[in-house]
Amino acid sequence: MTYVLGINSAYHESSACLIKDGKMVAIAEEERFNRVKHAKPARIDNPDELPINAINFCLKEAGITLNEVKYIGYSFNPPKRLRNKYFSEDVEEGSWGSQAGEDFFYQKLLQVPQKLSEIYGVDISERFQWVGHHASHAGSAFFVSPFDEAAILVVDGIGEFESTTLYKGKGNKIKRIRSINYPHSLGFLWEKLSKFLGFNEYDASKVMGLAAYGNPKKYYRHLMSFVGVNTRGFNINHSVVKFRLEDYSELEKLFGKKRNSNDEIEQRHADIAAALQRLTEDILLKLVNNLYKQTGSKNLCLAGGVALNCVANSVIKEKTLFENVYVQPAAHDAGTAIGAAYFIWNQQLSSPRSFVMNHSYFGPDYSSEEIRAVLEENSLKFIEQKDIEKVVAKLVSEGSIVGWFQGRMEVGPRALGNRTLLADPRNPKIRDVLNMKVKHREYFRPFAPSVLADKADEWFRIPKKSISSDFMLFAYDVHENKRGLIPAVTHVDGTSRVQTVRAETNPKYYKLIKEFEALTGVPVVLNTSFNDREPIVCTPQDAVNTLLKTRIDYLAIGNFLVSRGENNGK
């Protein structure tokens, strides 16, 4: 048997993935263990900033030690970064950080294999290899897809040097077609404008939610004054955006004063967000149409942080000639751990493909004994239920907010039914309650529906050319005659970020929704991630902590039901 370990920690969403003979054993993000959102390393020389917890989980899940792992892939190539930094003619003067900073980054990355060897007490130097960042993204998209051949588009902030790369995948190989290099970066444009709008660089999802409240026409031409769009893609005038600097002077000339995080959100901000969303869709359409012409494939795989834009993904589905579109659930940097492992297994070792990622449940799970012990340690009152799905469905139908903690944790930024907060989608007031009293977030943030896969097209306009919406990465129109029935999961623009749920991949969650349908006639529940403003909960103790500090009514953890009301006096 052959184990391959993939590791990501160069930028953010640090993670680890372990595969055995081509089958995925485990994957998890470091943030779920260290409880630091995005697990962004500040200094690579600190062992705690490598995804050690995630690596240890993967090894434990397989019942092996690092010494039994034959190949270790890291989803970044430091020599390639340094080579491009000094020798590429595309580098605009002043667009990079300092030479000293780049050299420091390079040297510390080179220490990764040594640090891992020291931590685990075994020399891994002969088994360790660097895998290009975008090659890892592409591998994470194609090698676990259901396609034998496909076009592949990777769009993020930056890899070693490229921000956008087009590939063709066939069998167990991917081949690069061309790249667009930094500073022409759609991902960084989203980060910069997210900060301009008063959020942080990781808040693209907030900007996407805000965009639905705006008019894209008002500021589209302003964006086009420094972003060029052509049939092959796009280019960005770095002298305006100044990615590496906290300088917004040129943007303020175009859009007005930068918003501070505590300032009121104005209509102007929503209009800027809407223009950015529309521009992104236009750029992606140019890229994928060009990719279609170059590959002739009917299948498309998307990866990179921009591939988490569910609205743009749906536009690609609806307005291109691609018949099938696949996005795996950890399309951001966490997924490069998947890609690094599969790039070695399929591309370098020429192993045949034998795995399709049709669900996201590859994280930690906990036994009833472990859960019971945590509840007792916290002196919580609980009842073990014989039919937890039916009990919770009734509670949700009566207006309760329930933390649903079951089975193996999902990977990726979306809760997909195992670390989820549940509420009644029919309740028009529940969205404000969740935003203000549970999630403590902005009023405009939408909530997503989980719907029985076999009933989804009765409630949402889902294109026929689709692999699945099981990963909540596409936004669809809610049928007009259904919008009044599920107002809590219908965004202001009439869309929903849909998760379809199948009995074969998550029978417990499917049964819960089925029970809710039996009570209400609605095969849909409101699903949002089980957290407040910290990473999604991972352990039973995390779930208890979030229960006690928020306005959640119940915790359904395994087959145990905990009522917050009964435990207020603890």
Q: Which residues pair with 29 in a beta bridge?
A: 15
Q: Does a cis peptide bond (omega within 30 degrees of 0) precede residue 183?
A: yes
pLDDT tens digits, residue range 359-409? 999 999 999 999 999 999 999 999 999 999 999 999 999 999 999 999 999
pTM over 0.85: yes
Co-location of 22 and 118 in the same domain: yes
**DSSP-based three-state secondary structure for 184:** coil
In a domain, 154, yes or no: no
Query: Which two structure tokens, joined as six digits, stand for 360?
Result: 């996201």
Selection from 201, 214, 196, 210 nearest residue 253 by Cα: 196
Query: 253: buried, middle or exposed (CB in 10 Å: 19+, 13-18, 0-12)?
Result: exposed
Judge contact between 3 and 62, C-beta under 8 A: yes
pLDDT tens digits, residue range 300-323? 999 999 999 999 999 999 999 999
In a domain, 47, yes or no: yes
Co-location of 299 and 418 in the same domain: no
Adjacency order of strands within the sheet including 419-423: 382-384, 560-563, 554-557, 402-405, 419-423, 524-529, 448-452, 499-501
Judge contact between 496 and 449, C-beta under 8 A: yes
List per-residue pLDDT tens for the chain, 570 residues long. 999 999 999 999 999 999 999 999 999 999 999 999 887 644 444 544 799 999 999 999 999 999 999 999 999 999 888 766 544 444 454 455 667 778 888 888 999 999 999 999 999 999 999 999 999 999 999 999 999 999 999 999 999 999 999 999 999 999 999 999 999 999 999 999 999 999 999 999 999 999 999 999 999 999 999 999 998 889 999 999 999 899 999 999 999 999 999 999 999 999 999 999 999 999 999 999 999 999 999 999 999 999 999 999 999 999 999 999 999 999 999 999 999 999 999 999 999 999 999 999 999 999 999 999 999 999 999 999 999 999 999 999 999 999 999 999 999 999 999 999 999 999 999 998 998 888 888 888 999 999 999 999 999 998 865 567 999 999 999 999 999 999 999 999 999 999 999 999 999 999 999 999 999 999 999 999 999 989 999 999 999 999 999 989 999 999 999 998 788 655
In a domain, 254, yes or no: yes
pLDDT for the residue numbered 103 = 82
pLDDT tens digits, residue range 131-184? 999 999 999 999 999 999 999 999 999 999 999 999 999 999 999 999 999 999
Query: 56: buried, middle or exposed (CB in 10 Å: 19+, 13-18, 0-12)?
Result: middle
pLDDT tens digits, residue range 439-451? 888 888 999 999 9
Co-location of 334 and 380 in the same domain: no
Domain count, the chain: 3
In a domain, 199, yes or no: yes
How many Cα atoms occupy the beta-carbon half-sphere of 261 within 13 Å?
6
In a domain, 360, yes or no: no
Which structural domain range is residue 502 located in?
A: 368-567
The enclosing domain of 321 has a CATH number of: 3.30.420.40
In a domain, 474, yes or no: yes
The enclosing domain of 460 has a CATH number of: 3.90.870.20
Co-location of 336 and 479 in the same domain: no
Co-location of 386 and 467 in the same domain: yes
Co-location of 193 and 116 in the same domain: no
**245 Rama class: left (phi>0) / alpha (psi -120 to 50) / beta:** beta
Co-location of 557 and 472 in the same domain: yes
Co-location of 513 and 447 in the same domain: yes
**CA separation for the pair 483, 337 (Å, rounded):** 39
**CA separation for the pair 117, 258 (Å, rounded):** 46
Q: What is the dihedral of CA 135, 141, 142, 146, to 10 degrees?
A: 170
Co-location of 449 and 530 in the same domain: yes
Residue type, 441: R
483's CB contacts (< 8 A; 6+ apart) are 490, 494
Q: Which helix (H) or strand (E) holds 82?
A: helix 78-87
Co-location of 399 and 279 in the same domain: no
Co-location of 334 and 382 in the same domain: no
> What's the 3-state SS for 251-267?
HHHHHCCCCCCCCCCCH
In a domain, 354, yes or no: no
**CA separation for the pair 310, 397 (Å, rounded):** 28
Last residue of a domain, one of 268, 294, 326: 326
In a domain, 168, yes or no: no
Co-location of 322 and 333 in the same domain: no
476's CB contacts (< 8 A; 6+ apart) are 314, 460, 461, 462, 469, 495, 496, 498
Q: Phi and psi (nearest 5°) for 7?
A: -130, 135
Last residue of a domain, one of 348, 381, 411: 348
